Amino acid sequence: MRKSFSSIYSSSSAEEDGESLPLPAEAEHPCAAVLCCHRVHDSLLSSNSNFTGYRGLLNWIIILLVLTHAHLFLENFIQHGFLIDVKKVLEHLIEDNCNWPSVNLIVAANIFAITALLIERSQGKGMLTPTIAHRLHLTNLGVLLLFPAAVIVHENTISTGGAFFSLWFYTALGMKLYSYQETNHWYRQAQSTHAERCQDVSVPEKAPDEQLTFRDLYYFLFAPTLCYQRDFPCAPEVRINKLLHRLLEMVIVIQILVGIVQQWIEPIFRRSENSFSSMDITMRVELLVGLVAPTHFFWLLVFFLSHSYLNFCAELLRFGDRRFYGDWWNATTLVVFWENWNIPFQKWCHRHVYTRLVEKNVPPSRAELLVFLMSAGLFEYMIALPLLSCRLWIFLMMLFELVVAVFLENYFQGNYGNGFVWLCLLLGPLLAVSAYFHDHYASFRQQDPQPSSSPLVSDPRLPSAVSSQPEGSSV
């Protein structure tokens, strides 16, 4: 009997060590499965485990988040009442009845696009030398960037929403026209040297005179891309059901965005009349902590809105390349996130900035730093100028994220790195943008004579005070 037990123990030990030692049938004990019930196993939640079945925990987290924020929505509704009013949103979009500066700005943008086309045609016919044409293009782009800024600063009748839309429109137009002139320059070089650069060999190249048309230019201007090329890949047909689907998504998401701003973010703004820079540290922390959840949800919905809009334009124009973003939500470092959250912008930066700097013997690491600084400055410019307030909060916050990404990259990897990326998204530039809008909201209330006599100013936390909401206090 003792010999049988020893043989059973040795067989179980050999099995745990990965060895296969067959035992004779007469040495096996009939109760071997009951006597040896332990093997070498890692805990499922340990880092050594290869377990990936966390779907149940994900469902639990989703349900918990829904219930938690449903409680916040209910508490907000009980305290402040129903604040959603589309008319107040239109107040920040509709301008003077006889003067629409933002609309005039967008219409005037055709002048810069046509000028770029005429310069390219003149150069193609030999009427302009490459040096003169390049200088004319740079002059055209410089005026294009300065013109909307001058109108936004000096025109008092332009609305906040109109200023944002027109400035972003001109920024995208400037990037497109820069890519247009530089890519055509590359095509001319390729034609003269009989080398095919930046061209898919499977797509036949058209003649330069045939390509420089209004139809080709405006297709590129309306296409959801910032990088120009000849003969874009096209889908076989326009799917009407997809168009309607994307259009319905945009309508629903815009309504939700308006609800988040008016029902959730605006009451937080109303708690303080002072600007963010003049608050004490306690009020700053309280304001930012209260804005974490709504601003993050707002940003996620804006991302989904851009997804629907870009796919709507791509479907309408039969644009084939619809990889507008990567799986940035799985990014384990901030660098991976920056490379995947906006692929059209990253393509433009790599194609027209990074590559050109490397060609001029700039070290790749320094070229990447310059590209990042350019994107941070551009983001600051596009947010601060329409609000007429430049305090470099967004630029400094992005620089801080860059420093954190460089020094802490080796300490946060895998799942920990992904959690760190989400933490930076919650506490990063979004809060800096919220601080900008808070100060704009505070200055807007100070210009309105009604809030001074409203009980909302004396005690903004009282539920009864919200019923007398001042007119024109929406974001």
pLDDT digits (tens, 9 = 90+) for 178-201: 999 999 988 888 877 754 444 454
Looking at residue 407, what is its pLDDT?
Answer: 82
Looking at residue 305, what is its pLDDT?
Answer: 93
314-343: burial string, b at 16+ Cβ within 10 Å, e else? bbbbebebeebbbebeebbbbbbbbebbbb
Q: Using CA atoms, how far apart are residues 186 and 44, in angstroms rounded to an integer?
A: 56
Residue 61: how many CB atoms within 10 A of its CB? 11
Q: State pLDDT tens for residues 131-174.
A: 899 999 999 999 999 999 999 988 888 888 888 899 999 999 99
Mean of pLDDT over the chain: 79
**Is the pLDDT assigned to residue 105 strictly greater than 80?**
yes
Looking at residue 125, what is its pLDDT?
Answer: 84
**Is the pLDDT assigned to residue 473 strictly greater than 70?**
no
Taking the complete model, does pTM exceed 0.85, yes or no? no
Mean pLDDT of 255-279: 80
List of E strands, 211-336? none
Residues 6+ apart with CB under 8 A from 238: 315, 316, 318
Mean pLDDT of 91-107: 73
Q: Using CA atoms, how far apart are residues 267 and 29, in angstroms rounded to an integer?
A: 74
Q: Using CA atoms, how far apart are residues 321 and 234, in angstroms rounded to an integer?
A: 8
Looking at residue 32, what is its pLDDT?
Answer: 65
Q: Which of 162-176, 219-233, 427-441 has the least mean pLDDT?
A: 427-441
Q: What percent of the chain has pLDDT over 90?
A: 30
Task: Tell which phi-psi region holds residue 126, choosing left (phi > 0), alpha (psi between -120 and 50) or beta.
Answer: left
pLDDT band at residue 208 under the 50/70/90 scheme: low
Burial of 53 (0-12, 13-18, 19+ CB in 10 A): exposed
Q: What percent of the chain has pLDDT over 70?
A: 78
- CA separation, residue 315 to residues 30, 240, 303, 324, 345 (Å): 69, 9, 18, 13, 20
Q: State pLDDT tens for residues 111-122.
A: 999 999 999 999
Name residue 234's beta-bridge partners: 319
Q: Which one, of 24, 166, 47, 172, lies nearest residue 104 by Cα?
A: 166
**Is the pLDDT assigned to residue 11 strictly greater than 90?**
no
Q: State pLDDT tens for residues 378-408.
A: 999 999 998 888 888 889 888 988 888 888 7
CA angle 149, 152, 157 (to 5 degrees): 165
Tracing tokens 């903004």 back to the chain, one arrives at 460
**Is the pLDDT assigned to residue 204 strictly greater than 60?**
no
Looking at residue 231, what is its pLDDT?
Answer: 86
Looking at residue 461, what is its pLDDT?
Answer: 32
More confident residue, 226 or 277: 226
Q: Which of 146-155, 222-231, 407-416 has the least mean pLDDT?
A: 407-416
Looking at residue 28, what is its pLDDT?
Answer: 63
Residues 6+ apart with CB under 8 A from 408: 420
More confident residue, 274 or 125: 125
Q: State pLDDT tens for residues 302-321.
A: 999 999 999 999 999 999 88
Looking at residue 472, what is its pLDDT?
Answer: 36
**For residues 440 and 261, is the Cβ–Cβ distance under 8 A?**
no
Q: Using CA atoms, how far apart are residues 258 and 261, in angstroms rounded to an integer?
A: 5
Helix (H, G, I), strand (E, B) or coil at 234: strand
Question: Inter-axis angle of helices 101-124 and 130-154, to 10 degrees?
Answer: 180
Residue at 116: amino acid letter: A
Mean pLDDT of 353-368: 92
Q: State pLDDT tens for residues 236-245.
A: 888 999 999 9
- CA separation, residue 287 to residues 24, 83, 133, 239 (Å): 75, 20, 52, 46
